[in-house]
Chain A
């Protein structure tokens, strides 16, 4: 069974400090005129976004530990050592996809290539934030269902990260109808619209959600990692 969700822009709580950090201003204070640009971008985004998501709970999940793989309804995902370690106590998984829609990316591209690259850049950044915030909401919905069945959830993990091959997107999308939520895959397994997220969440009685997962990633120059550090949210494991 495929569960679908859609969110209006006003349902999402966007963290302005985080947006400032994404734009490069680490202290959360946007100098003139970028504060006005952000206000303009938020106003535009409201009509540009078509925020939709879908998730499912495949029936049978099985770990194949030696290859750091997980078999979901007979389809093998090569999730890699790092993600396998995080999911290892799961007894089943949820698969999800979510998008902010094509409108915000199209508008951003137009502006970046033409008369207002700054607004285009801010819209692009905002689009990333919108889809991640919407995916947070979708994840809460998965958690609500999991809790009702006595399960906890792990963090979400996506193909293309932590050495999980992006090629597995095709396998992940095979659990959803074609063009579900308006998302399609390129031959190289990238999602279109570009402001989309897909992934897997582990479910089980022995799994934990972690506030800090940057320690899983080897990327050094990352604004998110730096933001978490400045916010005092660091690994306790």
Chain B
């Protein structure tokens, strides 16, 4: 594989944003995701290869480490920042069709809940694994989810909740999405929910961590 892409995947895994970034300490003074992505494009590496063989493997590795409690939220955010910096170079190629994302993921924190860090983390990981992410924000009701799915009929919906009190809202939204658009897949996550709750409310998947969402999407879309 192209050596640049190997380096790029390491930048994503370890959260090396650019040359000026002091993190991680062992990569101080080295090029980061920003410079390497730009250089790869200049050297003619196809944008799709950069996404598939550079960015995605790095994001997958950090996702697995997070699941295994080998790294924590701040480190994942560093990786996500490195990823989004690289994606800025790739965005024009997505628009032109030179690179394609795997599918679309619509995510939001359910009505009545204003917490968004977990949701954002999932969104970043999913985007870093090659999906287009539509983030509807917090305190989102079923109408907004349904409208977004109508505009993106193949999309999978992700519902997030932090409060036990908003699990009721999650149940209602899942039911209303399924009633309005029966084929839509709904995956849920958040501190108070679990697999039993997922089954009870008729959602299609529960993931305790962002990598689980990526794996679910890969199994259903990619």
Contact = CB atoms under 8 A, between A and B. Distances in A.
A122 B163 contact: no
B191 interface: yes
Interface in A156-209: 160-161, 163, 165-166, 186, 188-190, 192, 194
Contacts of A124: 117
Q: Please tell me the size bucket of the interface on B.
A: 20 to 34
B52 to A, nearest CB: 24
Q: Please tell me the size bucket of the interface on A.
A: 20 to 34
A214 to B, nearest CB: 14
Which of A163, A188, A222 lies at the interface centre, i.e. has the most chain B CB atoms within 10 A of its CB? A188
Interface residues of chain A: helix, strand, loop or mixed (majority): loop
B199 interface: no
Given A188-B111, A219-B192, A121 B165 contact: no
B22 A160 contact: no
B164 interface: yes
A121 B74 contact: yes
Contacts of A192: 114
A24 B191 contact: no
Interface stretch (A29-37, A58-66, A94-102): A29-37
Contacts of B77: 117-118, 121
B165 A37 contact: no
A112 B25 CA distance: 22
A61 B25 CA distance: 58
B198 to A, nearest CB: 15
Which of B73, B163, B192 lies at the interface centre, i.e. has the most chain A CB atoms within 10 A of its CB? B73
A124 B115 CA distance: 11
A78 to B, nearest CB: 13
A161 B165 CA distance: 8
Contacts, number: 63
Nearest to A222: B191
A112 B22 contact: no
A189 B169 CA distance: 13
A73 to B, nearest CB: 24
B73 A24 contact: yes
A56 interface: no
A14 interface: no
A163 B81 CA distance: 38
B218 interface: no
A222 B164 CA distance: 13
Contacts of A221: 191, 208
A112 B80 CA distance: 11
A190 B81 contact: no
A112 B112 contact: no
Contacts of A25: 72
Contact of A33 (B22, B112, B191): B22
A118 B78 contact: yes
A121 B73 contact: yes
A75 interface: no
Interface in A24-66: 24-25, 32-34, 37
Given A112-B117, A160-B164, A166-B165, A24 B22 contact: no
Interface of B: 22-23, 25, 72-74, 77-78, 80-81, 111-117, 120, 139, 163-166, 169, 191-192, 208
Given A189-B112, A189-B165, 19 more contacts: A23-B74, A25-B72, A32-B23, A33-B23, A33-B25, A34-B74, A112-B116, A112-B117, A117-B120, A121-B77, A160-B163, A166-B163, A188-B139, A188-B169, A190-B112, A190-B114, A194-B114, A219-B192, A222-B191
Which 6 A-B pairs give the minimum distances between C-beta atoms?
Answer: A24-B72, A188-B112, A166-B165, A117-B77, A118-B77, A33-B23
